[in-house]
Structure 1
């Protein structure tokens, strides 16, 4: 197992080189740069040329790539042109705000999806199964901005149960516990929307997997041995039904840190998604490239984690 993990981690190096070439080439093909994105009508051509020289935007694409790659290898992702701070500092300031929302949404969505998928498969074609299927397809088909605006309209504006947006109440000077409660109060609606969107597809995965597993011979054998139905479902069937869903774990890791751009925009949540969208519109290439590489590394590590979890969940799988 250790040799397999080491070998997979070493395979990440050439993959990351290819990813870096691809994303840098795509960013270089985008017309304009940070100077043109600022759109300052009073800026002269000489001043614009001077700024491009300062930021290194006047150099050839190949030279800029190797300069950026060499700095990235040493852990230097450059300075954000918009925030005038190191890219790592900007990511650290905002990524944990997105992580909080994504983490709780991940926990709630997996818990709900597991139990909903199990009982939908157990009581296939029942009223519960039909209602859950209807709810799942509603969550999967409705766009996130529509659900978010709908919840803001009824729960925030009409009923006043939750704030319209933001992360903290302005001017709050309470204890640490009061501040945590205030953040949780502001976080409820974004987490609810993200949970609804994630639960839909996950429930379908678990339901389909459970339907395949509970028809297997070893499940009938377990029931014939007189085991309790709860033991048969949750100890024997569910463990094998989790195997297809483990693949999704590889994509959950970057999702925890990438932020939900649309939801953060709707709920005015100061997460990394908004900053990333701003970096694209403002041609803030150092931040855009640095954060994209960060997500690519998380995706590759997530795939390694999925393979390791396969071997843990199913002893029959041998990693060679």
Structure 2
């Protein structure tokens, strides 16, 4: 194991050195820091050119300057990091990078997690419903989204996701016909997912139609879009639904102890709504994280107390229910800040933002700033999710179909195992092996490829730093961007190898 890590570290360091050297030389050839002075008509033009040449060491060959830059990078290992200076603003690149990388990671992490969960889920369901209407529809949507350019999707999101929705919030009403149409579409989608005989399809269709139409009617009747909230009843019903769903997937509903533990945790989460109103008052990020740990620990304890023939399964399911239930409590508290946020002068009744990562001049509590952060995240996250979702769906579907045709899956069915056990324990885990390579590397790819999205939505992240460096002929910010992306790609590649070993016991990193 240690030999593997050492060898990979050395080879990765060599790749990073060669890549950064080549990019440094190429960028130095492409940019011209003297362009503005060469076109100047100032009487002291020659003196200004000489001063800038001396300032940026342009009379020194680029390989020698690269060694100087590399020395500053090496200082990061001893706490004296020096990535150069953005000479047009006289800012340290490390200061620019610290502020930029946090913005980009916040955007990319959320988009990757959402796209991964949705894409893998839809891909697996599509594989299990092969050659059905749902499968063909998902194939069409995946190829359509995969072919769309991100800048075009971003413009559409601005028009319909922000401007259109903000206009809708001025008078949030839907006609009965629109509500019924949305209910029909939801019914068609859900009956296609569950499949089965005609009777089962009709039951699923009717249930989905009734629930969707009823929820939309309730939201319009109570002016929910302008005064959103969940409340203990909705949290209880949602939590119980999550408890049944997780138990059915992870243990099967016949495991009564696990089901009782999950439902008990969901009931506890709903009961915590009242005391959480006091606990959330005056909260900050540290307090919220502490409450999260306490709630998840409570879920683990409930699973342990219920026990069963497999106590660890009950504990895991209860912990997940507690985690998702706390997310509902957190979302409810954020929603409570919607009315003052919506009516503030900085927002002016148009909460879905199209520019920037935060609203300038907005004042308010921790919950107001959290809500503002989420409203700014919606559009750029959706753009990145739609593009990545298509790839995850195709990969997971193809991998799942390949696994389902393997001999060990047929053997598991021949042994009389339930379909849930065959799919979850035998097929799904093995279908994740190809995705173990894609997901870490895709994160690095999105991190480096969010330049267009950041530019369109005005996020001052790493993409903005990269473009600004090229436009202003500043090589140090560009190299900082390349260094971070290269390092993340190397780490992602290493994590992919480790995930292979975790998912497939036949693979050993020291082989």
Deviation at 1:192, TM superposition (A): 0.8
Aligned counterpart for 1:109 among listed residues 83, 108, 115: 115
Does the 8 Å contact 1:121/1:208 carry over to 2?
Answer: yes
Deviation at 1:182, TM superposition (A): 0.7
Aligned equivalents of 1:249, 1:156: Cα separation in 2: 29
Deviates more, 1:183-192 or 1:62-71: 62-71
Q: Which residue of 1 aligns with 2:143?
A: 137
Aligned equivalents of 2:134, 2:448: Cα separation in 1: 34
Higher relative contact order (Cα pairs below 8 Å, separated by 6+ residues): 1
Q: Which residue of 1 aligns with 2:51?
A: 50
Q: Which residue of 2 aligns with 1:216?
A: 406
What is the RMSD of the two structures over their aligned residues, measured on CA atoms? 1.8
Q: Which residue of 1 aligns with 2:67?
A: 66
Deviations 1:6-29, CA, capped at 9 Å, x for gaps: 221122222222122211221232
Aligned counterpart for 1:152 among listed residues 158, 165, 172: 158
Specify every segment of 5 or more residues in structure 2 that has no aligned partner in the other structure, as ranges.
77-81, 170-351
Deviation at 1:92, TM superposition (A): 0.7
Q: Which residue of 1 aligns with 2:29?
A: 29
Deviation at 1:259, TM superposition (A): 5.8
Aligned counterpart for 2:459 among listed residues 264, 269, 276: 269
Give the secondary structure class of the aligned counterpart of 1:302. Answer: helix
Q: 1:223 to 1:45 in 2, by over 3 A?
A: same
Deviation at 1:73, TM superposition (A): 1.8
Deviations 1:91-129, CA, capped at 9 Å, x for gaps: 111111111111111111111111111111111110110
Deviation at 1:257, TM superposition (A): 4.1
> Radius of gyration: which is bigger?
2
Aligned equivalents of 2:353, 2:66: Cα separation in 1: 45
Deviation at 1:78, TM superposition (A): 1.1
Deviates more, 1:291-300 or 1:66-75: 66-75
Give the secondary structure class of the aligned counterpart of 2:431. Answer: helix
1:158-307 → structure 2 map (5 Å cutoff): 158-160=164-166, 162-255=352-445, 257-258=447-448, 260-307=450-497
Aligned equivalents of 2:379, 2:28: Cα separation in 1: 38
Deviation at 1:158, TM superposition (A): 2.5
Does the 8 Å contact 1:166/1:269 carry over to 2?
Answer: yes
**Are 2:10 and 1:7 equivalent residues in the alignment?**
no
Deviations 1:152-186, CA, capped at 9 Å, x for gaps: 11222223162222222232100011101111011
Aligned equivalents of 1:38, 1:241: Cα separation in 2: 59
Aligned equivalents of 1:27, 1:72: Cα separation in 2: 18
Q: 1:62 to 1:10 in 2, by over 3 A?
A: closer
Deviations 1:292-313, CA, capped at 9 Å, x for gaps: 1221122112111111111111
Aligned equivalents of 1:69, 1:167: Cα separation in 2: 32
Does the 8 Å contact 2:440/2:493 carry over to 1?
Answer: yes
Deviations 1:46-69, CA, capped at 9 Å, x for gaps: 212211211212212232222222
Aligned equivalents of 2:148, 2:33: Cα separation in 1: 35
TM-score under structure 1 length normalisation: 0.94
Give the secondary structure class of the aligned counterpart of 2:86. Answer: coil
TM-score under structure 2 length normalisation: 0.60
Specify every segment of 5 or more residues in structure 1 that has no aligned partner in the other structure, as ranges.
none
Does the 8 Å contact 1:98/1:258 carry over to 2?
Answer: no
Report the count of equivalent residues: 319
Q: 1:215 to 1:273 in 2, by over 3 A?
A: same
Aligned equivalents of 1:225, 1:170: Cα separation in 2: 63
Deviations 1:256-300, CA, capped at 9 Å, x for gaps: 643611111211122211121111121110111122122112211
Give the secondary structure class of the aligned counterpart of 2:91. Answer: coil
**Are 2:128 and 1:122 equivalent residues in the alignment?**
yes
Q: Which residue of 2 aligns with 1:41?
A: 40
Deviation at 1:40, TM superposition (A): 6.8
Deviation at 1:3, TM superposition (A): 2.4
Does the 8 Å contact 2:465/2:478 carry over to 1?
Answer: no
